[in-house]
Amino acid sequence: MPLIAIAVLAAGTYAFRLAGPVFRHRIHIPDRVQRLLATATAVLLTALVATAALTQGHGFAGWARPVGVLVGGVLALRRVPFPVVIIAAAATTAVLRLSGIP
Amino acid sequence: MILDMRSFWRTLDRGSLRDISLVCLADAIVGASFGAITVSGGLSPWVPIAMSVLVFAGGAQFAAAGVVLAGGSPAAAAVAGLVLNARLLPYGFTVADTVGGRWWTRLLGAQLITDETVAFTLRQHEPQRRRATFWTCGLALFGCWNVAVVLGVLAGAVLRDTGSLGLDAAFPTVLLALVLPSLADRSTRNAALAGAVIAVAATPFLPAGLPVLLALAGLVLARRPAATVADTNPALEARRCP
């Protein structure tokens, strides 16, 4: 990953963060835009979950990873503490691989 | 730092400090897996460390690194990260008064704005408590996150095979836990599921990074506006009950 990509991402992110504290009295973000940003975040995160869980390169990632993610998701829905959710997901995937499921 | 540190601790109650510590622990695990996965995936050690200090946004870091590790272009990686981080814009306005009036507190405080810090800050109603919460949570997370990433990088250099530890399942699980609460809203859920189907279906055909951006087409299904940002923002909700 080249430095320029990291610099662009970092500078843009900092600009998003700094705009509020600097322009708080001069700009008001319309509610509609705020809602759109919140929904766009959810859409993007869900798409990332789906592609990262199911695919590797241009193909299927195998069953071990999505099953681990599914176990983590069920635990998260049951409001299990966050660290436990992550460890359970990784452990499930690791055990499945150990037993021969890729 | 901004105020005398002792009055900070007195201002924060024990429950808040415990919640903040729990989130620091959770983020440290995520940060360590970020460092380990990126380095064992083939990125140079300075890449995850520089990203963690300069970008300091877990979701965007994973997204950008994920695009590059999957063979996508650096430009697609930066765009994916920026689209994710656009949500920080309204956060900045929400906590603007808490960050402070002096120029250097604004410059420093801005970098500490994250889902977690904003969520914790909004739980407090009194201005002084808000300030104490924002700076304590922000600085603690910044410290934990970056130390954990460095430790993860060191571990990743030793563990060549993070796959056998199931670490590749950690990243999607983190994002899933963050996004789940916002999917309770039907309009958001429809848009998100449509987007996910589009992204997975496009993966065999498009260069890495683009399918996820294409998922934003799912937004057309989100016609009915959701309640409020605080109600629908995935991370804010998720971190409210850490």
Residues A66 and A98 in one domain: yes
Residues A5 and A23 in one domain: yes
Q: B171, B176, B178, B183: which to substitute to probe chain A, counting the most A Cβ within 10 Å?
A: B176
Query: Shortest Cα distance from A63 to chain B (angstroms)?
Result: 11
Residue B46 lies in a domain: yes
Q: Which of A12, A59, A86 sits opposite B29 (nearest CB)?
A: A86
Say yes or no for a CB contact (<8 Å) between B234 and A45.
yes
Indicate whether A101 pLDDT > 70: yes
pLDDT for B226: 46
Higher pLDDT, B139 or B80: B139
- B24's tokens: 């620091």
H or E stretch covering A69 = helix A64-77
Residue B52 lies in a domain: yes
Nearest to B115 by CA among B242, B28, B241, B239: B239
Average pLDDT over residues A71-99: 92
Residues A38 and A3 in one domain: yes
pLDDT for B239: 41
Residue B172 lies in a domain: no
Say yes or no for a CB contact (<8 Å) between A1 and B65.
yes
Please tell me the total count of domains within chain B: 1
**Residue B197: CB atoms within 10 Å:** 15
Residue B177 lies in a domain: no
Assess A97–B contact: CB distance below 8 Å, yes or no.
yes
Assess A39–B contact: CB distance below 8 Å, yes or no.
yes
Q: List, for residues B38-58, the tens digit of each pLDDT value.
A: 898 889 999 999 999 999 998
Say yes or no for a CB contact (<8 Å) between A14 and B111.
yes
Q: What percent of chain B has pLDDT above 90?
A: 37
Residue B51 lies in a domain: yes
DSSP state of A36: H
ipTM for the predicted complex: 0.87
Residue B60 lies in a domain: yes
Q: Is the dihedral angle over the CA atoms B79, B84, B85, B89 positive or is it negative? A: positive
Q: Cα(B196)–Cα(B194) distance, rounded to whole angstroms?
A: 5
Residues in chain A closer than 8 A to B200 (CB atoms)? 50-51, 54-55
Residue B139 lies in a domain: yes
Q: List, for residues B197-231, the tens digit of each pLDDT value.
A: 999 999 999 877 788 889 989 988 876 554 444 44
Q: Cα(A2)–Cα(B43) distance, rounded to whole angstroms?
A: 10
Residues A10 and A37 in one domain: yes
| Nearest-10 crossing angle of helices B127-158, B14-40 | 30
Write out the residue range of the structural domain in which residue B52 sits: 14-162
Q: List, for residues B102-135, the tens digit of each pLDDT value.
A: 899 999 999 999 988 988 888 888 899 999 999 9
Q: Which of A29, A49, A91 sits opposite B93 (nearest CB)?
A: A29
pLDDT for A39: 86
Residues A40 and A80 in one domain: no
Residues in chain B closer than 8 A to A5 (CB atoms)? 64, 68, 74-75, 77-78
Residues A5 and A36 in one domain: yes
Please tell me the total count of domains within chain A: 2
pLDDT for A29: 79
Query: Shortest Cα distance from A78 to chain B (angstroms)?
Result: 11
Q: Cα(B59)–Cα(B178) distance, rounded to whole angstroms?
A: 9
pLDDT for B27: 85
Tell me if residue B147 falls in helix, strand or coil: helix
Q: Cα(B114)–Cα(B117) distance, rounded to whole angstroms?
A: 5
Write out the residue range of the structural domain in which residue A86 sits: 62-102
Query: Shortest Cα distance from B126 to chain A (angstroms)?
Result: 19
